[in-house]
Amino acid sequence: KAGVTQTPRYLIKTRGQQVTLSCSPISGHRSVSWYQQTPGQGLQFLFEYFSETQRNKGNFPGRFSGRQFSNSRSEMNVSTLELGDSALYLCASSLGSGGTGELFFGEGSRLTVL
Amino acid sequence: GIQVEQSPPDLILQEGANSTLRCNFSDSVNNLQWFHQNPWGQLINLFYIPSGTKQNGRLSATTVATERYSLLYISSSQTTDSGVYFCAVGRSGGYQKVTFGTGTKLQVIP
CB-facing half-sphere around the CA of B59: CA atoms within 13 A: 17
Is A106 close to B42, i.e. CB distance below 8 A? Answer: yes
d(CA A54, CA B53): 34
In this prediction, residue A92 has a pLDDT band, given cuts at 50, 70 and 90, of: very high
**A96 touching chain B per CB within 8 A:** no
**A9-18, A76-85, B38-47, B96-105: least confidently modelled range:** B96-105
CA proximity to B21, closest of B71, B56, B77: B71
Q: What are the contacts of A36-42 at 24+ separation with CB within 8 A?
A: A36/A60, A36/A87, A36/A88, A36/A89, A36/A90, A37/A87, A37/A88, A37/A89, A37/A90, A37/A108, A37/B41, A38/A84, A38/A86, A38/A87, A38/A88, A42/B100, A42/B102, A42/B103
Identify the pLDDT of residue A39. Answer: 82
- Who among B41, B102, B103 is closest to A110 (CB)? B41
Q: Is the pLDDT of residue B13 over 90?
A: yes
d(CA B11, CA A109): 28
The nearest CA of chain A is from the CA of B95 a distance in Å of 7
Q: What is the pLDDT of residues A29-57, one digit of tens each?
A: 999 999 999 987 789 999 999 999 998 88
Identify the pLDDT of residue B91. Answer: 79
Measured in degrees and rounded to the nearest 5, phi and psi for residue A12 equal -125, 130
Residues belonging to chain B with any Cβ–Cβ distance to chain A shorter than 8 Å: 30-31, 33, 35, 40-43, 45, 48, 86, 88-92, 95-100, 102-103
Q: What is the pLDDT of residues B61-95, one digit of tens each?
A: 999 999 999 999 999 999 999 999 999 998 766 55
Query: Which residue in chain B is spatially nearest to A43 when comparing CA positions?
Result: B100
Identify the pLDDT of residue B20. Answer: 98
Q: Is the pLDDT of residue B60 over 90?
A: yes
Residues of B in contact with A55 (CB under 8 A): 97
Give CA angle at A65 (A59, A66), nearest 5°: 120
Query: Which residue in chain B is spatially nearest to A92 when comparing CA positions?
Result: B43
Identify the pLDDT of residue A1. Answer: 63
Identify the pLDDT of residue B93. Answer: 63
- B4 vs A40, residue with greater confidence: B4
Query: Which residue in chain B is spatially nearest to A10 when comparing CA positions?
Result: B40
